[in-house]
Chains A and B, each alone.
Chain A
């Protein structure tokens, strides 16, 4: 507006004048300053507009959620944040409605990394059982496949609101705060760092019980995500190292607890923008002394005068909050327990201690030396080290044996669950590295041989689960030896079962047979835990079957394992595993109809525990394959698809699991006449397959399906190329009469025939016909056999020199 541009200065002056003048005089005074009435009017309008109230921003519209999740009816939205929304939900149990909080992923948060975090929260919650932590009641998948969590519904107020509305004094606030510390310390002992502690994540019930909420918001952060800790944590309560995106430790929670305590005591709440908070984090500045932050309003809310509150906060309490909120983690309290102890000392009027740095200091040293690796791994390693160090430190405190055993158990259980690529979604190699590190460090911290053996076995089992067979085998050899010396039959049986299973997988059949047989025998001794009995029976039977000794005893053992796992309420994962082993064994024997309901049962268990996504995907794959064996492709295809999708989410597109599942999905598509879709799946798989398999026969599957898809889509020369490679990776490595070799030759013959090179195709077709004629049992194999023969007849009829060729071949 040119008018404004020309009169910019005078408009501003008039505006400032208007601000300084009372309303009645305003127009008159402005007119005295400026002779142009239009300008005066404009300045007045700008002045009026500047003082208009702003409308509150529109809150984003909530997508109305489906009213039901499984057996739960949603009543209303109670909050949303982090990655999910929380609803008040109701379930009718025995005629009476029970209320609970149901958490679902926000619609925008779909995607593997969010789903993974959601599952992680579920995992974490299910392993926590503490009065001051919201309890998980149930979990499941909705009909449309969305995961949800059901937690106890806590009616209460946010921590700060609770305290202020009741005008609680300093001591009462501290007593409530100790409940928070207790919950956080418990979580730390379970390897869980909360990382988003703040008053709004802490509820206090009317009875004064503290409940810690929201364990899913900012736990282990994806290294590849743009959403790093920086944006996920709440800046006002986050430690500087979190804001700087550096590795996080339990010390972050100590800092956050300090920030909460600071606010709780002084009433000071940051009005700084995130920018200022970030800058403080960068510069390493520490907050002002507690007593200086006191305001009159805060004093009133605590029922005392400002001066009194200032005095009260200036001594030990200022020391305590300052020690929590040190810029350097190593200078903070070494643990939440140490913080609690000091608060306890204050409350009982003893002098607070400034404790020397212990285990955590060593850890932060360690971590700073190894900063290069992926954030998630580091977070992870810290979780492990913290807890090992913690256990070690506790050991030094000479805890009584019972307590120690309990702690060990908790520790190992957590470790076992956490150190699993299923759970972290990280490449197994990284996890294995971490586990190896664990086995090296264990002896330094755990001195009791029995405890050490337990710890080593758990680590080795995790290594095995993550595909590090060699590493696991080394550790199992140690535990077998140490168990024998100590006459610890349980550990011996468990270690031998695993070691035998691994030996089989490494192709050392005799060693595998000996070890699993001995483990089975030991497991039958009285007093053996069900888990060991099940494991020993399974490993013995499955491996013997796979090695060709298909006895009835094996089936009986697997049936026993499946039943025992369920009767003895072994963890869901182990029960599902036992069912799956029985199912796939029956399938192997051609008893497909018997296997189908067992697969379904295993899947039902996994659906209740969706975090075991990789294993679940494997069951889906085998389940689908069983249907395919029955020639029921319509049932098989969606199951193959679920298997494939599951692997994509749990281990990524380049993982072996996803590649194999992709191959089978493609195979089913080809059989259903959808070769172009199959090609889209298969072509991008070739490069990652080569990386994994080199030129071993493992490459055969993808090459076979690729050839078939090329041939079916008329791309014969590409099909010929892949078929020749297919034969070359198999030749000399599997038996010449193996049906797979027959199938490969048939593919090459079809490709060559497509290129109209009938004479070259014929010999391959003959080899295929000869091999595939023998030993066809399943409908699929029979179909392939007749296909091979049909091809031969077709080719011979097309070949002008058929009689001559026959003669030569004979």
Chain B
């Protein structure tokens, strides 16, 4: 689906989504996901390179596209980036599932930021990570959002704080905690 045909829809749906309207998120996914996939195509073929197609670059490109198509307003960027982080999570997971079907134990470079490099070098870990995040989502949605923005989109702590209307100190502190929790949750310390 081409968002161009639905000028304004993304903006409206973003509002609906943030207002908690049921079904809005799924509709947004359907609307934006194919575009994101296309932009991210090279990324997921393993063609990651310096200066090219970092997740942030992919999402920024999508953002700019939507703005140019006038289906998004600049003021909606907080919601947009939150949505994109979720999308990126989904895209990555899809990719991982696809890859793990193809070659069971092969190494796979999943483009997370360096701070999460200890997770996700194998498909099975990426799927575990997704499960852990789903669990986090039910316990503490805000922290889940934080992880998505920070680790899946590569936003800095400052940007994450701005997007979530929090102080940087809060973001830093909560992320330290959630990072420890995730690590413990995914690979329990034997000690």
Chain A: residues with CB nearer than 8 A to chain B?
1, 4-5, 8, 11-12, 15-16, 19, 42, 45-52, 54-58, 60, 80-81, 108, 226-228, 230-232, 234, 244-245, 271-276, 278-279, 282
Task: Type the 1/0 row for B158-174, where 1 means its CB is closer than 8 Å to any CB of A.
Answer: 01000000000000011
Q: A231 touching B180 by the CB < 8 A rule?
A: no
Complex CA gap A4/B180 in Å reads 13
Chain A residue contacts of B109, Cβ below 8 A: 57-58, 60
Starting from the known contacts A46-B180, A58-B107, A275-B81, 18 additional A-B residue pairs (CB-CB under 8 Å) come to: A4-B139, A42-B184, A46-B184, A49-B181, A50-B176, A50-B179, A50-B183, A52-B183, A55-B118, A56-B117, A58-B117, A226-B38, A227-B52, A230-B57, A273-B155, A274-B56, A275-B60, A279-B77
Please report the C-alpha to C-alpha distance between residue A19 and residue B172 in the assembled complex, in whole angstroms. 12
Q: Which single residue of chain B is at the shortest CB-CB distance from A282?
A: B74
Q: How far apart are the CA atoms of A5 and B138 in the complex, in Å?
A: 9
Specify which chain A residues have a CB less than 8 angstroms from the CB of B41 in the assembled complex. 226
Whether A272 contacts B47 in the complex (CB less than 8 A), given A16-B177, A56-B114, comes out as no
B140 proximal to A (CB < 8 A): yes
Distance A327 CA – B135 CA, assembled complex (angstroms)? 45
Asked, given contacts A226-B42, A278-B60, whether A47 binds B180 with beta carbons under 8 Å apart, the answer is yes
Within 8 A of A (CB), among B63-117: 63-64, 67-68, 74, 77, 81, 107, 109, 114-117
CB pair A57–B181 under 8 Å, yes or no, is no
Partner of A19, one of B47, B51, B56, B176: B176
Q: Are B177 and A46 in contact (CB under 8 A)?
A: yes
Q: Is the CB–CB distance between A60 and B46 below 8 Å?
A: yes
| CB < 8 Å neighbour of A50 from B68, B81, B180 | B180
- B53 located at the interface, meaning its Cβ lies under 8 Å from any Cβ of chain A in the complex: yes
CA distance A54 to B58 in the complex (A): 25
For chain B residues 111-158, which have a beta carbon within 8 Å of chain A? 114-118, 121, 135, 138-140, 153-156
- Are the C-beta atoms of B189 and A49 separated by less than 8 Å? yes
Could you list some 20 contacts between A and B, CB below 8 A? Answer: A4-B185, A5-B135, A8-B140, A12-B174, A12-B177, A15-B176, A16-B173, A19-B176, A46-B177, A46-B184, A48-B180, A49-B180, A50-B180, A54-B118, A58-B107, A81-B50, A231-B53, A271-B156, A274-B56, A282-B64
Given the complex of chains A and B, what is the CA–CA distance between A15 and B50 in angstroms? 36
**With A1-B135, A8-B140, A226-B42 in contact, do A81 and B49 touch (Cβ < 8 Å)?**
yes
Whole-angstrom distance between the alpha carbons of A3 and B182 in the complex?
A: 14
**CA gap between A8 and B142 in the complex, in Å:** 13
Q: Which residues of B contact A272 (CB under 8 A)?
A: 156
Contact call A108/B115, Cβ cutoff below 8 A: no
A-side interface mostly: helix
Compute how far the CA of A228 lies from the CA of B60 in the bound complex, rounded to whole angstroms.
Answer: 12
Tell me which residues across on chain A come within 8 A of B191, comparing CB atoms: 45
Q: Specify which chain A residues have a CB less than 8 angstroms from the CB of B15 in the assembled complex.
A: none
By beta carbon, the residue of chain B nearest A226 is B39
Once the chains are docked, how many angstroms separate the CA of A81 from the CA of B47?
A: 11
Collect the chain A residues with CB atoms within 8 Å of residue B67's CB.
Answer: 282
Q: Which of B20-66 contact A (CB under 8 A)?
A: 38-39, 41-42, 45-54, 56-61, 63-64
Tell me the bound Cα distance from A537 to B47 in angstroms.
Answer: 51
Determine the chain A residues whose CB is within 8 A of the CB of B154 once the complex forms.
273-274
Least Cβ–Cβ distance between B55 and chain A, in angstroms? 10
Report which of B42, B77, B174 forms a contact with A227, defined as CB distance below 8 A: B42
Q: Which residues of A contact B68 (CB under 8 A)?
A: 245
Residue of A nearest to B48 (CB): A60
In the complex, which residues of chain A have a beta carbon less than 8 angstroms from the beta carbon of B159? Answer: 273, 275-276
Q: Which residues from B are CB-within-8-Å of A42?
A: 184
Q: Is the CB of A4 within 8 A of B181?
A: yes
Closest 9 CB pairs of A and B: A50-B180, A46-B180, A49-B183, A57-B117, A49-B180, A278-B60, A274-B56, A108-B47, A15-B177
Closest to B35 in A: A226
Most chain B beta-carbon neighbours within 10 Å: one of A4, A58, A80, A275: A275
Closest A residue by C-beta to B57: A231
B38 engages A234 (CB within 8 Å): no
For residue B156, which residues in chain A have a CB less than 8 angstroms away from its CB? 271-273, 276
Instruction: Report A-chain residues with C-beta under 8 Å of the C-beta of B181.
Output: 4, 11, 46, 49-50
- The interface residues of chain A lying within 8 Å CB-to-CB of B155 are 273, 275
Interface range for B: 35 or more
The interface residues of chain B, by DSSP majority, are classed as helix
Shortest CB–CB separation between residue B23 and chain A, in angstroms?
Answer: 26
Shortest Cβ gap from B7 to chain A (Å): 19
Q: How far is the CA of A662 from the CA of B74 in the complex (A)?
A: 49
Residues in chain B near residue A271, CB distance under 8 A: 156
B64 touches A278 (CB 8 A): yes
Please, how many angstroms separate the alpha-carbon atoms of A80 and B48 in the complex? 12
Q: Say whether B185 contacts A55, CB under 8 Å.
A: no
Residue of B nearest to A196 (CB): B51
Q: Which residues of B contact A15 (CB under 8 A)?
A: 176-177, 180
Chain B: CB-nearest residue to A283: B74
**Chain B positions within 8 Å of A8 at CB level:** 139-140
Complex Cα distance A50/B175, Å?
Answer: 9
In the bound complex, what is the Cα–Cα distance between A108 and B153 (angstroms)? 24
A14 to chain B, nearest CB (A): 10
Inter-subunit contact B115/A54 (CB<8 Å): yes
B184 close to A49 (CB less than 8 A) = yes
Contacts of A230 in B (CB 8 A): 57, 60-61, 64
- Report how far A55 CA is from B153 CA in the complex, Å: 19
- CB proximity of A191 to chain B, nearest CB, Å: 25
Which residue of chain B has its CB nearest to the CB of A109? B47
Looking at the assembled complex, report how far the CB atom of B34 sits from the nearest CB atom of chain A, in whole angstroms. Answer: 13
Task: List residues of chain B with CB within 8 A of the CB of A5.
Answer: 135, 138-139
Q: Give bound CA distance, A613 to B114, whole Å.
A: 43
A11: chain B residues at CB < 8 Å are: 177, 181
Cα–Cα, bound, A23→B64 (Å): 48
How far is the CB of B4 from the nearest CB of chain A, in Å?
15
Contact A55 B117 (CB under 8 A): yes
Determine the chain A residues whose CB is within 8 A of the CB of B81 once the complex forms. 275
Known contacts A8-B139, A227-B42; is-contact A48 B51 (Cβ 8 Å)? no
A50 to B114 CA separation, bound complex (whole angstroms): 14
**Is the pair B56, A273 in contact by a Cβ cutoff of 8 Å?**
yes
Min C-beta distance of B162 to chain A, whole Å? 9
Q: Once bound together, how far apart are the Cα atoms of A230 and B57, in whole Å?
A: 8
Closest to B109 in A: A60
A273 contact set on B, CB distance < 8 A: 56, 154-156, 159
Expressed in whole angstroms, the Cα–Cα distance for A274 and B53 within the complex equals 11
Contact of A45 among B42, B54, B107, B189 (CB under 8 A): B189
Q: B117 and A274: CB pair below 8 A? A: no
| Nearest CB in chain A to that of B183: its residue | A49
| Closest B residue by C-beta to A51 | B180
Q: With A and B bound together, what is the CA distance between A60 and B50 in angstroms?
A: 11
User: A55–B125 Cα gap in the complex (Å)?
Assistant: 15
For residue A81, which residue of chain B has the nearest CB?
B50
User: Given A54-B117, A56-B114, do A274 and B64 touch, yes or no (CB 8 Å)?
Assistant: no
Q: Could you say which residues of chain A place their CB within 8 Å of the CB of B60?
A: 230, 274-275, 278
- Write out the residue numbers on chain B whose beta carbons fall within 8 Å of the beta carbon of A45: 180, 184, 189, 191
In the complex, how many angstroms separate the beta carbon of A224 from the nearest chain B beta carbon?
12
Separation in Å of the B156 CB from the closest CB of chain A?
A: 5
User: Shortest CB–CB separation between residue A12 and chain B, in angstroms?
Assistant: 6
B121 engages A58 (CB within 8 Å)? yes
Tell me the smallest distance from the CB of A334 to a CB of chain B, in Å. 28
Q: Which residues of A contact B177 (CB under 8 A)?
A: 11-12, 15-16, 46, 50
> In the complex, are the beta carbons of A48 and B189 less than 8 A apart?
yes
Q: Which residue of B lies closest to A228 (CB)?
A: B61
Contacts of A234 in B (CB 8 A): 51
Q: Is the CB of A231 within 8 A of B61?
A: yes
Taking CB atoms, residues of chain A closer than 8 Å to B50 are: 81
Task: Name the distance in Å between A548's Cβ and chain B's nearest Cβ.
Answer: 55
